[in-house]
């Protein structure tokens, strides 16, 4: 199983390298995605990419940092979940010993749960990632034990910062983190989480990929982008009237 996955991952790596980001992709089947992701998308009845997905996914697969702005309902969730599944799959960051590969920060518990549900939906056809929610509601200790085994975490800023700041006494480590997603960045800032996010970023490895998505482009969002992103691709999708 492991061997076969390694071969698949190598082939995908070449296909992603050859990917032309200027090509307008319309169908998920045209993208170099793992069989598991393709099967998950199919079973969830996702066939055609939305505009933000079409522009963000190829760039994110290739490892670019992204600042993506598109209104609510435009499909931003898959624009970051698909690259997470794929980039972690290609690097074989899978299983309890692999460590935490991706962190998705959401402004509210409700939105975090929604993201997690979509992740489960498209990830359930063959992917073996350990994924979980860290949004409070359980004891810190319980969450910490779960966190130590996760490859992908969906979390709220205050709660994950609580874990990071107490990391010395636990086995949880973010040294292996490859990807950070700040979803609904405008809302994260509106809700007063700027300091928490700044503090979280201080704990994370510098050589990571960061994807920042927002419904609106504000000065504070671009300030946050300057702090968290490296040489980002700017993607702004405006619906044709
Ligand atoms: P946003 O985060 O931009 O507000 P979501 O990711 O929550 O948007 O997606 C909004 C809705 O569109 C959801 O119901 C989702 O299932 C649906 N959706 C997303 N991508 C696609 C797609 N490629 N094809 C069909 N429906 C999609
Ligand atoms: Mg969203």
Between residues 48 and 126, the one the model is more confident about: 48
pLDDT tens figures, 147-170:
999 999 999 999 999 999 986 545
Residue among 77, 122, 214, 216 whose CB has most ligand 1 atoms within 8 A, to mutate: 77
pLDDT tens figures, 13-30:
999 999 999 888 999 999
- Which CATH number covers residue 117? 3.40.50.300
**What is the model's pLDDT at position 9?**
83
Between residues 68 and 137, the one the model is more confident about: 68
Query: Is the distance from the beta carbon of residue 46 to the nearest atom of ligand 1 less than 6 Å?
Result: yes
Task: Using the predicted structure, report yes or no on whether residue 190 has a pLDDT greater than 50.
Answer: yes
**What is the model's pLDDT at position 4?**
66
Give me ligand 1 centre to Cα 75, in Å.
4
Q: What are phi and psi of 91, to 5 degrees?
A: -90, 5
Here the tokens at position 164 are: 């990071």
* Residue nearest atom 12 in ligand 1 by C-alpha distance: 75
Buried b (16+ CB within 10 A) or exposed e, 191-220: eebbebbeebbeebeeebbbbbbbbeeeee
Residue with tokens 């063959």: 126
Q: Which residue range(s) make up the domain with 142?
A: 2-237
Task: Using the predicted structure, report yes or no on whether residue 70 has a pLDDT greater than 50.
Answer: yes
Task: Using the predicted structure, report yes or no on whether residue 196 has a pLDDT greater than 80.
Answer: yes
**What is the model's pLDDT at position 124?**
93
Other Cβ atoms less than 10 A from the Cβ of 45: the count is 7
Here the tokens at position 241 are: 């009237």
How far apart, in Å, are the Cα atoms of 8 and each of 2, 5, 42, 70, 226?
10, 5, 19, 33, 36
For residues 113 and 129, what is the distance between their CA atoms, to the nearest angstrom? 17
pTM (2 d.p.): 0.95
Query: Is the distance from the beta carbon of residue 77 to the nearest atom of ligand 1 less than 6 Å?
Result: yes
Spacing of C-alpha 49 from chain mean position: 17
Domain count, the chain: 1
For residues 23 and 198, what is the distance between their CA atoms, to the nearest angstrom? 35
Query: Is the distance from the beta carbon of residue 22 to the nearest atom of ligand 1 less than 6 Å?
Result: no
pLDDT tens figures, 127-150:
999 999 999 988 988 898 899 999
Give me ligand 2 centre to Cα 13, in Å.
28
Residue with tokens 């490895």: 205
Residue among 75, 112, 120 whose CB has most ligand 1 atoms within 8 A, to mutate: 75
Residue 8: which pLDDT band, with cuts at 50, 70 and 90? confident
Residue with tokens 């991952």: 9
Task: Using the predicted structure, report yes or no on whether residue 194 has a pLDDT greater than 50.
Answer: yes
Task: Using the predicted structure, report yes or no on whether residue 101 has a pLDDT greater than 60.
Answer: yes
Query: Burial, 32: exposed, middle or buried (Cβ in 10 Å; 0-12, 13-18, 19+)?
Result: middle
**What is the model's pLDDT at position 241?**
46
List all residues 6 or more positions away from 95 whose beta carbon is below 8 Å from its beta carbon. 128, 130, 151
């Amino acid at each position: 199983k492991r061997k076969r996955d390694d071969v698949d991952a190598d082939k995908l790596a070449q296909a992603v390298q050859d990917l032309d980001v200027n090509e307008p992709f319309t169908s998920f089947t045209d993208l170099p995605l793992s069989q598991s992701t393709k099967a998950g998308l199919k079973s969830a009845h996702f066939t055609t990419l939305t505009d933000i997905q079409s522009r963000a996914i190829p760039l994110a697969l290739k490892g670019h940092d992204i600042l993506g702005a598109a209104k609510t309902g435009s499909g931003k969730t898959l624009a970051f979940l698909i690259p997470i599944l794929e980039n972690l799959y290609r690097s074989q960051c899978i299983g309890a010993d692999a460590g935490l590969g991706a962190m998705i920060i959401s402004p509210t518990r409700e939105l975090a749960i929604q993201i997690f549900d979509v992740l489960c939906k498209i990830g359930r056809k063959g992917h073996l990632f350990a994924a979980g929610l860290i949004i409070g509601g359980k004891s810190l200790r319980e969450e910490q034990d779960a966190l130590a085994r996760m490859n992908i975490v969906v979390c709220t800023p205050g709660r994950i910062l609580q874990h990071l700041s107490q990391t010395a006494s636990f086995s949880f480590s973010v040294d292996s983190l490859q990807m950070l997603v700040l979803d609904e960045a405008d809302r994260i800032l509106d809700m007063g989480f700027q300091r928490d996010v700044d503090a979280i970023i201080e704990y994370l490895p510098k050589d990571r990929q960061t994807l920042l998505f927002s419904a609106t482009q504000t000065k504070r969002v671009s300030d946050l982008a300057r702090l968290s992103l490296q040489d980002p691709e700017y993607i702004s999708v405006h619906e044709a009237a």
